[in-house]
Amino acid sequence: MQVRVQQEGFDLGAESDGFAARVSGVGAIVTFTGVVRDADAGGLVAMEIEHYPAMTQKALEAIAAEARARWSLADALVIHRYGRLAPGERIMMVATAARHRKHAFEAAEYLMDYLKSRAPFWKKEILTDGRAGWVDAKADDEDALSRW
Amino acid sequence: MQVRVQQEGFDLGAESDGFAARVSGVGAIVTFTGVVRDADAGGLVAMEIEHYPAMTQKALEAIAAEARARWSLADALVIHRYGRLAPGERIMMVATAARHRKHAFEAAEYLMDYLKSRAPFWKKEILTDGRAGWVDAKADDEDALSRW
Amino acid sequence: MDVVYFAWVRERIGVPREQVESEAATVTDLVAELSAREERYAAAFSDLSSLRVALDQELSDFEAPLAGVREVAFFPPMTGG
Amino acid sequence: MDVVYFAWVRERIGVPREQVESEAATVTDLVAELSAREERYAAAFSDLSSLRVALDQELSDFEAPLAGVREVAFFPPMTGG
């Protein structure tokens, strides 16, 4: 299991290859990559991601360990960035590997749902017109946790 | 949209990077990779994948086009191999890109469910003890289609 | 018309493809005609619920008419992915 | 104990971290104590339903006791991923 919290970018291809090369006996590998997209109203200059360094690594490891146990994953990977990111930059990725596709998909969605609402990150959108605002947590994201 | 049916292997990292580089305006990229895993009872020497060349490309394109329209995907990728594969080799991959993670995940699962039961591929397991047998379609896989 | 077979259907019938002269109106009629010709067809077509059919490379069903069809394919349920 | 703030809570209070001397028994007591001290705390803590609290880097709740706790963190609902 690998959990990394970092400011620098990551290489999606190399991470995917490395993850796939490390697992054996699996039939299914799922990756999810989160990308900074433009604000819903447009005009995004940057996304600033703040986190709680003393807590982040520990919180992500607990989430990944829970997913791994629950779906008997062969392995799980979580990478999450912080700092200032431009539109189109990759924010984070997860990867899961399991014998069956349903388990790999479910575990990846579980990781994403928990990262969204239980990992100590906060996003601020910086807009072209000079405004800036913290992204509100969505009720949908909180509700998503209830399915697990 | 890219759909490829091929005998040779594919480079998961390069395909993931290439796909991610081609899409813009998205927030979520999901990939699924299928790997030849050992038979449930063990002893798999090879998996032979037969297909219906005149139909395969067309069937995969129809499935990918339906997924793309249904979830407003920015793009979709399907690669599926045929021929003789050893345990641990990659059989196929799909990738989806959408604004929101739920759509990217659902579309990838839809692609997989339809590839499993509606794309003209058949798998034969060659075992160490000399036996060989066609993999039966699972009722579960057929049932999975009813959720879409 | 051309008739093509895949996976264990191909193995039981013994050829991957053949030309068939037939006036069969539907797939079911064609299946009955072939099964009456030789045992290997009867064996391959003994349980239609375990077979699928495609007409000109489109999934179809056993009641479909064959008029104008150039290629009929018989195979077991697909196992892609 | 150390008290740390993130996102708009940090911005309203004006510092990311401070040492607080307090005999508060629970998080709610600490919030009341700080809110009584200065307006900026009252503003940041005006709606507890929009706040989350972690004690020694573990998510907790406002009724939790503070005995033995070294670091209290206040922040809005998380938006990772």
Residue D80 in any domain: the answer is no
Percent of chain C with pLDDT over 90: 100
What's the gap in Å between the CA of C22 and the closest CA on chain B?
22
Please indicate, yes or no, if residue D22 is contained in any of the structural domains: yes
Say if C80 is an interface residue toward chain B (CB within 8 Å).
Answer: yes
Question: Nearest 5 degrees, angle CA C61-CA C67-CA C68?
Answer: 105
Chains that touch A (3 or more CB pairs under 8 A): B, D
**For residue D45, is it within any domain?**
yes
Task: Decide if A111 contacts A64 (C-beta within 8 A).
Answer: yes
Could you tell me the strand order of the sheet in which A83-85 lies?
A83-85, A44-51, A121-127, A132-134
At residue B38, the pLDDT reads 82
The alpha-carbon gap from B58 to the nearest alpha carbon of chain C, in Å, equals: 8
Distance CA A85, CA A88 (A): 8
Q: Where are the beta strands (DSSP E) in chain A?
A: 2-6, 28-35, 44-51, 75-81, 83-85, 90-98, 121-127, 132-134
Which among B58, B121, B136 has CB closest to C80? B121
Kindly list the distances between the CA atom of residue B147 and the CA atoms of A148, B21, B113, C55, in Å, as whole numbers in the listed order. Answer: 19, 31, 10, 26
List, for residues C27-57, the tens digit of each pLDDT value.
Answer: 999 999 999 999 999 999 999 999 999 999 9
- Per CB-CB distance under 8 Å, the chain C contacts of B51 are 6
Residues recorded for chain A: 148
Domains (range + CATH), chain B: 2-146 (3.90.1170.40)
Lowest-confidence range among A32-41, B30-39, B45-54, D18-27?
A32-41
- The string of DSSP letters for chain C reads -EEEE-HHHHHHHS-SEEE-----SBHHHHHHHHHHH-HHHHHHTS-GGG-EEEETTEE--TT-B-TT--EEEEEPSP---
Residue B76 is predicted with a pLDDT of 98
CA-wise closest residue to A124 among A136, A142, A113, A139: A136
Q: Judge contact between C7 and B122, C-beta under 8 A.
A: yes
Task: State the pTM of this model.
Answer: 0.96
C and D: touch, per 3+ CB pairs < 8 A?
no
Residue A28 backbone zone (phi > 0: left; psi -120 to 50: alpha; other: beta): beta
Q: What are the pLDDT tens digits along chain B (148 aa)?
A: 999 999 999 999 999 999 999 999 999 999 999 999 987 778 999 999 999 999 999 999 999 999 999 999 999 999 999 999 999 999 999 999 999 999 999 999 999 999 999 999 999 999 998 899 999 999 889 899 999 9
User: Do the Cβ atoms of B63 and B118 come closer than 8 Å?
Assistant: yes
Q: Is residue D81 part of a domain?
A: no
For chain A, the residues whose C-beta falls within 8 A of a C-beta of chain D are 34, 50-52, 54-55, 58-59, 80, 91-92, 112, 115-124, 134-137, 141-142
pLDDT attached to residue C21: 95
Distance between CA D5 and CA D73 in Å, rounded? 6
Q: How confident is the model at residue A42 (pLDDT cuts 50, 70, 90)?
A: confident
What CA–CA distance (Å, rounded) separates C1 from C73? Answer: 11
Q: What is the CATH number of the domain that holds D48?
A: 3.10.20.30
Tally the domains of chain D. 1
User: CB distance from A88 to chain B under 8 Å?
Assistant: yes
Chain B residues 21-80 within an 8 A CB cutoff of chain A: 24-38
User: Across the interface, which of A58, A116, A121 has its CB nearest the CB of D57?
Assistant: A58
Inter-chain CB proximity B50 and C78 less than 8 Å: no
* Complex ipTM: 0.95
Short-list B126, B102, B108, CA closest to B44: B126
Mean pLDDT, residues A62-69 taken together: 98
**Domain contains C21:** yes
Chain A residues with CB inside 8 Å of D75's CB?
52, 120, 122
Say which range, A112-116, B25-29, B135-139, D2-6, has the weakest mean pLDDT.
Answer: B135-139
Q: B126: exposed, middle or buried (C-beta count within 10 Å: 0-12, 13-18, 19+)?
A: middle
Place of tokens 């057929």: B142
Name the residue range of residue C33's domain: 2-75
* Percent of chain C residues topping a pLDDT of 70: 100
- The residues near B95 (Cβ < 8 Å, ≥ 6 apart) are B15, B16, B19, B29, B30, B31, B32, B75, B76, B77, B108
Sign of CA dihedral D14, D19, D22, D24: positive
- Residue A40 has a pLDDT of 74
User: Would you state the pLDDT for residue A38?
Assistant: 82
Chain D residues with CB inside 8 Å of A85's CB?
none
Residues of A in contact with B38 (CB under 8 A): 25
Is D56 a residue whose pLDDT tops 90?
yes
Q: What is the model's pLDDT at position A118?
A: 96
pLDDT value of residue C24 = 97
Residue A135: φ, ψ to 5°? -70, 125
Instruction: Give domain status of residue C51, yes or no.
Output: yes
Identify the bridge partners of residue C53 per DSSP, sorted by sequence position.
Answer: C74
Is residue C22 within 8 angstroms of chain B, CB to CB? no
Task: State the smallest CA–CA distance between residue A55 and chain D in angstroms.
Answer: 5
CA dist B92 and B111 (Å) reads 12
A141: Cβ contacts below 8 Å, ≥ 6 apart: A113, A116, A117, D79
